[in-house]
Structure 1
Amino acid sequence: MTEPQRPPSPAFSPQAAAPQPAMPQHDPQAPVRPQPTDLTAAISIRGLWKRFGQKTAVAGIDLDVPRGSFFGFVGPNGAGKTTTLSMATGLLRPDYGTVAVNGKDFWTDPVGGKAQLGVLPDGVRLFDRLTGAQLLTYAGLLRGMDRDTVATRTQDLLRALDLTKDAKTFVVDYSAGMTKKIALGCAMIHAPRVLVLDEPFEAVDPVSAANIRDILAGYVRSGGTVIVSSHVMDLVQRMCDHVAIIAAGQIRAAGTVDEVRAGASLEDRFVELVGGRQHTEGLEWLRTSSDSV
């Protein structure tokens, strides 16, 4: 007698047509079913999981990024920030869960989802044997833009990012800060509705960082949404209106900056939620005079 077939379990997969294995039984926090997506959010994440071997990098994240917000995404090293942003932008496929961009499921139409996004990923890799101007032109043409529009926007971005004098320099010869800026230009050239920037100010000099902040603030005022991952709490507190704190692959707090910091500084609140602050016993020798050597 043939055993009757079991009905399929509730879908967690980004693609319903590609069934995924059931959540392992040793995961007591595994969700039964993601909550409904927030259709009004720029990005709405539900029940997002990602494992690398035995390591769980992201453990059932639910997160909504309001449209028109300047959203900070912060956490300690290894917290799952980059993995989460990679899954939300099509750079990494989730094991389970859903991502919606402006109300539409990302993984059922990743091409359409990516068209709405401008992404500056962690550890960005560029075609660095192109000049800065050529790289921006390539990025625009890759997005299907016409050559005249690409040419105009390339010059606008080079000027705004203070790279005009280096437009004909090969990117391989750029400094780390210049490379970060040209990569940001590539993310912005098609005027996306949502910018997702992983550590955009890393290795960027203070003057350039101020210019970039002004560009991003103007973009948000015009109705765009910016998501910034950063380790610099003071920068996030001054720049962002919403923030989420992630640790050990889970969201510890999310909301407006004032709601999350709860009357303290964002850095103090971050340390309180994340934990792990070390005491300095045993380093008394650091406080001794160098004259004793």
Structure 2
Amino acid sequence: MIEVENLVKAFGSKRAVDGITFTVRNGEIYGLLGPNGSGKSTTMKILAGILRPTSGKVIVENVNVAEDPLEVRRIVGYVPETPVLYESLTPVEFFNFVGSVREIPREELQERVETFVRAFGIESYLGEMIGSLSFGTRQKVSLISAMLHDPKVLILDEAMNGLDPKSARILRELLLQFREEGRSIVFSTHVLALAETICDRVGVIYNGEIIAEGTVEQLKEFAHEESLEDVFLKLTESQDEVAGIVQALKDAL
């Protein structure tokens, strides 16, 4: 379970996150959605123990992020928006490194690596340097490394980026399975149709504040719209702008 209360993160005089509050229950996929620069990734880094909050309270599985970020990192499986990997290692070497840091028993690690590698179809890249791999393959390495220690909490920031349709489907099914197992999942994506199908609840963050929260159906009713995409555009004041741009393109073409 994740509890966020009046969370603030400031960089100098700029508040990237400005007093947000939300809860992610066990067995729930919570979609944190927002445009670029809204504070979404900053929030997720705090949840993962990567950044320290300026103020407010964040509790992950009964651990206070500000007081014990190392323990939070041990608990959480985190996939950043851009993969952060050791590019001079091969995927096998990187997985072994993660297993050592996570103190995963060798046989258990090998079994998990083999299972995930087959699932995401990266067998032929295991001996290649990570720095030479495509963005999509590095994203798969990042995903696998985040799940190797069987985390109770998953923080996935644009984890579908770069994935082929088959791998995206596999990840979606994994997330649904993890939800059934009672794990807490925070998931961000710009593919709003995907968020509409897998998220139990959604928080829309804009200018560092959560401006709406609820189930997809609740948000549709609140905004008087028929799709999550239209809800998102309306709440972030982008609907008229998008319509104007599309009309200008039509006129130009």
- The two structures have a TM-score, normalised by structure 2, of 0.92
Tell me whether 1:287 sits opposite 2:239 in the alignment: no
| Aligned counterpart for 2:5 among listed residues 15, 27, 46 | 46
Q: Is the 8 A contact 1:140 1:190 kept in 2?
A: yes
Query: 2:251 is aligned with what amino acid?
Result: R
Cα offset for 1:61? 0.6
Give the corresponding residue for 1:275.
237
Quickly say closer, same or farther: Cα 1:288–1:271, change in 2 above 3 A: closer
C-alpha separation between the residues in 1 aligned to 2:245 and 2:64? 51
Query: 2:197 is aligned with what amino acid?
Result: R
| Aligned counterpart for 1:57 among listed residues 16, 28, 32 | 16
Give the corresponding residue for 2:133.
174
C-alpha separation between the residues in 2 aligned to 1:167 and 1:69? 33
| Aligned counterpart for 2:176 among listed residues 200, 209, 217 | 217
Cα offset for 1:48? 0.8
Quickly say closer, same or farther: Cα 1:281–1:132, change in 2 above 3 A: closer
C-alpha separation between the residues in 2 aligned to 1:101 and 1:145? 21
The root-mean-square deviation of aligned C-alpha atoms, in Å, is 1.9
Tell me whether 1:238 sits opposite 2:197 in the alignment: yes
**Matched pairs, number:** 248
C-alpha separation between the residues in 2 aligned to 1:153 and 1:226? 20
Give the corresponding residue for 2:88.
129
Cα offset for 1:228? 0.8
Q: Is the 8 A contact 1:133 1:158 kept in 2?
A: no
Q: Is the 8 A contact 2:24 2:185 kept in 1?
A: no
Cα offset for 1:62? 0.6
Q: Is there any run of 5+ residues in structure 1 with no aligned partner, and where?
A: 1-41
Q: Is the 8 A contact 1:137 1:154 kept in 2?
A: no
Cα offset for 1:138? 1.1
Q: Percent identity?
A: 33
Q: Is the 8 A contact 1:197 1:229 kept in 2?
A: yes
C-alpha separation between the residues in 2 aligned to 1:285 and 1:184? 38
Q: Is the 8 A contact 2:179 2:185 kept in 1?
A: yes
Query: 2:76 is aligned with what amino acid?
Result: L
C-alpha separation between the residues in 2 aligned to 1:246 and 1:47? 14
C-alpha separation between the residues in 2 aligned to 1:156 and 1:288? 51
Q: Is there any run of 5+ residues in structure 2 with no aligned partner, and where?
A: none
Query: 1:85 is aligned with what amino acid?
Result: M
- The two structures have a TM-score, normalised by structure 1, of 0.80
Q: What SS does structure 2 have at the residue aligned with 1:201?
A: coil
Alignment of 1:136-175 (within 5 A): 136-175=95-134
Q: Is the 8 A contact 1:87 1:94 kept in 2?
A: yes
Cα offset for 1:212? 1.3
C-alpha separation between the residues in 2 aligned to 1:117 and 1:285? 44
Q: What SS does structure 1 have at the residue aligned with 2:103?
A: coil
Quickly say closer, same or farther: Cα 1:234–1:142, change in 2 above 3 A: same
C-alpha separation between the residues in 2 aligned to 1:281 and 1:255? 30
Quickly say closer, same or farther: Cα 1:283–1:72, change in 2 above 3 A: closer
C-alpha separation between the residues in 2 aligned to 1:270 and 1:282? 17
